[in-house]
Protein backbone atom coordinates (compact mmCIF):
# COMPACT_ATOMS: atom_id res chain seq x y z
CA UNK A 1 0.00 0.00 0.00
CA UNK A 2 2.78 2.45 0.89
CA UNK A 3 4.53 1.85 -2.40
CA UNK A 4 1.34 2.52 -4.34
CA UNK A 5 0.75 5.71 -2.35
CA UNK A 6 4.30 6.99 -2.84
CA UNK A 7 4.27 6.04 -6.52
CA UNK A 8 0.92 7.65 -7.30
CA UNK A 9 1.86 10.76 -5.30
CA UNK A 10 5.17 11.00 -7.17
CA UNK A 11 3.46 10.76 -10.55
CA UNK A 12 0.88 13.35 -9.47
CA UNK A 13 3.65 15.66 -8.24
CA UNK A 14 5.59 15.29 -11.48
CA UNK A 15 2.60 16.03 -13.70
CA UNK A 16 1.51 19.04 -11.64
CA UNK A 17 5.07 20.37 -11.37
CA UNK A 18 5.81 20.05 -15.08
CA UNK A 19 2.47 21.62 -16.04
CA UNK A 20 2.58 24.43 -13.47
CA UNK A 21 6.19 25.27 -14.33
CA UNK A 22 5.36 25.44 -18.01
CA UNK A 23 2.66 28.03 -17.27
CA UNK A 24 4.73 30.06 -14.77
CA UNK A 25 2.65 29.38 -11.68
CA UNK A 26 2.98 31.75 -8.74
CA UNK A 27 3.93 30.61 -5.23
CA UNK A 28 0.30 30.31 -4.07
CA UNK A 29 -0.56 28.05 -6.98
CA UNK A 30 2.51 25.92 -6.23
CA UNK A 31 1.32 25.60 -2.62
CA UNK A 32 -2.12 24.57 -3.87
CA UNK A 33 -0.73 21.91 -6.15
CA UNK A 34 1.64 20.74 -3.43
CA UNK A 35 -1.30 20.41 -1.05
CA UNK A 36 -3.07 18.20 -3.60
CA UNK A 37 -0.27 15.69 -4.21
CA UNK A 38 -0.42 13.48 -1.12
CA UNK A 39 -4.23 13.46 -0.79
CA UNK A 40 -4.68 12.55 -4.46
CA UNK A 41 -2.21 9.69 -4.07
CA UNK A 42 -4.03 8.55 -0.94
CA UNK A 43 -7.44 8.78 -2.58
CA UNK A 44 -6.28 6.76 -5.56
CA UNK A 45 -4.85 3.97 -3.38
CA UNK A 46 -7.77 3.90 -0.93
CA UNK A 47 -10.29 3.70 -3.78
CA UNK A 48 -8.39 0.90 -5.52
CA UNK A 49 -8.17 -1.13 -2.31
CA UNK A 50 -11.53 -0.40 -0.66
CA UNK A 51 -13.76 1.11 -3.37
CA UNK A 52 -14.28 4.12 -1.12
CA UNK A 53 -13.24 7.76 -1.46
CA UNK A 54 -13.22 9.17 2.08
CA UNK A 55 -14.91 12.55 2.23
CA UNK A 56 -12.61 13.51 5.09
CA UNK A 57 -9.74 13.54 2.61
CA UNK A 58 -11.67 14.81 -0.43
CA UNK A 59 -13.48 17.75 1.11
CA UNK A 60 -10.65 19.00 3.32
CA UNK A 61 -8.21 18.77 0.41
CA UNK A 62 -10.65 20.56 -1.87
CA UNK A 63 -11.00 23.43 0.61
CA UNK A 64 -7.24 23.80 1.09
CA UNK A 65 -6.36 23.51 -2.60
CA UNK A 66 -9.19 25.83 -3.64
CA UNK A 67 -8.05 28.38 -1.06
CA UNK A 68 -4.48 28.43 -2.35
CA UNK A 69 -5.53 28.51 -6.01
CA UNK A 70 -7.88 31.42 -5.30
CA UNK A 71 -5.11 33.43 -3.65
CA UNK A 72 -2.82 32.73 -6.59
CA UNK A 73 -3.64 33.59 -10.14
CA UNK A 74 -3.56 31.03 -12.91
CA UNK A 75 -3.76 31.37 -16.67
CA UNK A 76 -7.55 30.98 -16.56
CA UNK A 77 -8.12 33.40 -13.68
CA UNK A 78 -9.56 32.96 -10.22
CA UNK A 79 -13.13 32.73 -11.41
CA UNK A 80 -12.34 29.76 -13.63
CA UNK A 81 -11.09 27.80 -10.63
CA UNK A 82 -14.37 28.26 -8.77
CA UNK A 83 -16.54 27.71 -11.84
CA UNK A 84 -14.65 24.54 -12.75
CA UNK A 85 -14.91 23.16 -9.21
CA UNK A 86 -18.68 23.77 -9.15
CA UNK A 87 -19.18 22.57 -12.74
CA UNK A 88 -17.22 19.37 -12.11
CA UNK A 89 -19.34 18.69 -9.05
CA UNK A 90 -22.53 19.24 -11.05
CA UNK A 91 -21.28 16.99 -13.86
CA UNK A 92 -20.57 14.22 -11.37
CA UNK A 93 -24.04 14.61 -9.83
CA UNK A 94 -25.62 14.34 -13.28
CA UNK A 95 -23.58 11.19 -13.99
CA UNK A 96 -24.58 9.78 -10.61
CA UNK A 97 -28.26 10.31 -11.46
CA UNK A 98 -27.89 8.97 -15.01
CA UNK A 99 -26.06 5.84 -13.80
CA UNK A 100 -28.65 5.31 -11.04
CA UNK A 101 -26.07 5.52 -8.28
CA UNK A 102 -23.27 3.56 -9.93
CA UNK A 103 -21.08 6.62 -9.64
CA UNK A 104 -20.61 6.82 -5.89
CA UNK A 105 -20.93 9.80 -3.56
CA UNK A 106 -17.17 9.64 -3.00
CA UNK A 107 -16.69 10.40 -6.70
CA UNK A 108 -19.06 13.35 -6.35
CA UNK A 109 -17.18 14.62 -3.29
CA UNK A 110 -13.78 14.44 -4.99
CA UNK A 111 -15.10 16.34 -8.02
CA UNK A 112 -14.59 19.87 -6.61
CA UNK A 113 -10.94 19.10 -5.86
CA UNK A 114 -10.32 17.76 -9.36
CA UNK A 115 -12.32 20.57 -10.95
CA UNK A 116 -10.34 23.26 -9.11
CA UNK A 117 -7.05 21.76 -10.27
CA UNK A 118 -8.17 21.43 -13.88
CA UNK A 119 -9.87 24.83 -13.79
CA UNK A 120 -6.60 26.55 -12.87
CA UNK A 121 -5.17 25.35 -16.19
CA UNK A 122 -8.26 25.52 -18.38
CA UNK A 123 -11.91 24.93 -17.50
CA UNK A 124 -12.37 23.38 -20.93
CA UNK A 125 -9.94 20.64 -19.95
CA UNK A 126 -12.77 19.11 -17.91
CA UNK A 127 -14.01 17.64 -21.18
CA UNK A 128 -10.71 15.78 -21.44
CA UNK A 129 -10.90 14.76 -17.77
CA UNK A 130 -14.27 13.06 -18.21
CA UNK A 131 -13.48 11.66 -21.65
CA UNK A 132 -10.22 10.06 -20.49
CA UNK A 133 -11.81 8.78 -17.27
CA UNK A 134 -14.76 7.29 -19.17
CA UNK A 135 -12.65 5.60 -21.82
CA UNK A 136 -10.12 4.21 -19.34
CA UNK A 137 -12.89 3.06 -17.01
CA UNK A 138 -14.73 1.32 -19.84
CA UNK A 139 -11.61 -0.39 -21.17
CA UNK A 140 -10.60 -1.53 -17.67
CA UNK A 141 -14.11 -2.83 -17.00
CA UNK A 142 -14.09 -4.82 -20.23
CA UNK A 143 -10.66 -6.26 -19.46
CA UNK A 144 -11.56 -7.42 -15.94
CA UNK A 145 -14.90 -8.84 -17.10
CA UNK A 146 -13.27 -10.66 -20.01
CA UNK A 147 -10.67 -12.12 -17.65
CA UNK A 148 -13.43 -13.41 -15.38
CA UNK A 149 -12.24 -11.45 -12.33
CA UNK A 150 -15.41 -9.34 -12.24
CA UNK A 151 -18.96 -9.57 -13.50
CA UNK A 152 -21.37 -6.89 -14.68
CA UNK A 153 -22.84 -6.71 -11.18
CA UNK A 154 -19.52 -5.92 -9.46
CA UNK A 155 -18.54 -2.36 -8.62
CA UNK A 156 -15.33 -0.98 -10.05
CA UNK A 157 -13.56 1.93 -8.39
CA UNK A 158 -13.98 4.98 -10.64
CA UNK A 159 -11.97 7.46 -8.57
CA UNK A 160 -8.60 6.35 -9.96
CA UNK A 161 -9.85 6.95 -13.49
CA UNK A 162 -11.05 10.43 -12.51
CA UNK A 163 -7.63 11.20 -11.01
CA UNK A 164 -5.77 9.88 -14.06
CA UNK A 165 -8.18 11.83 -16.29
CA UNK A 166 -7.36 14.94 -14.29
CA UNK A 167 -3.63 14.43 -14.72
CA UNK A 168 -3.99 13.83 -18.46
CA UNK A 169 -6.19 16.94 -18.81
CA UNK A 170 -3.70 19.05 -16.83
CA UNK A 171 -0.74 17.81 -18.84
CA UNK A 172 -2.62 18.29 -22.10
CA UNK A 173 -3.64 21.84 -21.30
CA UNK A 174 -0.08 22.83 -20.38
CA UNK A 175 1.34 21.77 -23.73
- What is the band of 155 on the pLDDT scale with cuts at 50, 70, 90? confident
Q: Print the domain residue range for 44.
A: 2-174
Rg (CA), the chain: 15
Nearest CA-CA partner of 82 in 90, 160, 54, 44: 90
Q: What is the mean pLDDT of residues 65-92?
A: 93
Q: pLDDT value at position 151?
A: 74
- What is the band of 18 on the pLDDT scale with cuts at 50, 70, 90? very high
Domains in the chain: how many in total? 1
Q: What percent of the chain has pLDDT over 70?
A: 100
Q: pLDDT value at position 108?
A: 94
Residue 123 has pLDDT above 80, yes or no: yes
Q: What is the mean pLDDT of residues 2-17?
A: 89
Rounded to whole angstroms, the Cα distance separating 48 from 42 reads 10
Identify the DSSP state of 23: T
Amino acid sequence: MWMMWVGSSAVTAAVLAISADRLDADVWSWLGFGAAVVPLGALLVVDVLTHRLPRQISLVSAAVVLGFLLIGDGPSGRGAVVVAAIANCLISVVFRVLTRGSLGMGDVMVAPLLGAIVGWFSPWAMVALWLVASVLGAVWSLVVMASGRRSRRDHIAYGPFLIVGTLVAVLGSAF
